[in-house]
Amino acid sequence: MQLPPGRFDGPPREKILNAPAVAVLLALSMPALFLVQQRLPDGGFSYAFLPSSLVYGDWWPGLFSTMLVHGGWGHVAANAIAALAFGPPVARLFPGLKGAAIFLAFYIVCGLVASLGYGLVHLASNDPVVGASGAVFGLMGAALRLLGSRQGRLRGITDRRVLTAAAVIMGVNAATGLIGFAPGVEGARIAWEAHAAGFVFGLLAIGPVARLFGQRPS
């Protein structure tokens, strides 16, 4: 049967990748930066964060620059995939160019808190810490507040589903760190404390940040 012009006998097609551009670009930036990192004389590890630098007073550049470098392609892939999975629901809370800037600022602050949290636990350590995992876990914590919400509204921090999922994630995170195994980081110590700090910060901070920019918890 031929339909009249302008008619369509089915639901509209959805995009295969329906994610905000800022979240996609964030995920793509990780492998792009790793390609640059591989061409640096020291492999980019001068940009790592040293926990002991908190004692020496030269800590501040590493808190940020550690998010730009990774330990290998597996490490990069894990963080990029996680950023693409958990970044979009958070990015949708903040539309437009201003919203994209807010999203990126939130991501960066989650990473800073993650590095600082790890450093405070391991003040005597000279082992370099690299990766954007802490910042990505911050996005994960924030996205958890949107669990099952079709209206894009945040669930309360005491919501049973939020607390249950957070407990499971933190349990797996701690177990993975203590066992010392995760895909892409074989042979390296997993900074699970940084993951935990970023996650908890993202979980708690997304509420006040969303309120400031027009969103309110349900």
State the Rg of the chain over Cα.
19
CA distance 212 to 36: 36
Q: Using one digit for the tens of pLDDT, what is the confidence trace for 91-130?
A: 999 989 999 999 999 999 999 999 999 999 999 888 889 9
Do residues 72 and 184 make contact, with C-beta atoms less than 8 angstroms apart? yes
End-to-end CA distance of the chain: 47
Helices (H), 4-125: 21-37, 53-56, 60-65, 73-91, 96-121
Higher pLDDT, 117 or 11: 117
pTM summary value: 0.85
Is the pLDDT at 2 greater than 80? The verdict is no
Q: Domains (ranges, CATH) in the chain?
A: 21-212 (1.20.1540.10)
Mean pLDDT of 168-185: 74
CA distance 106 to 139: 8
Mean pLDDT of 124-147: 92
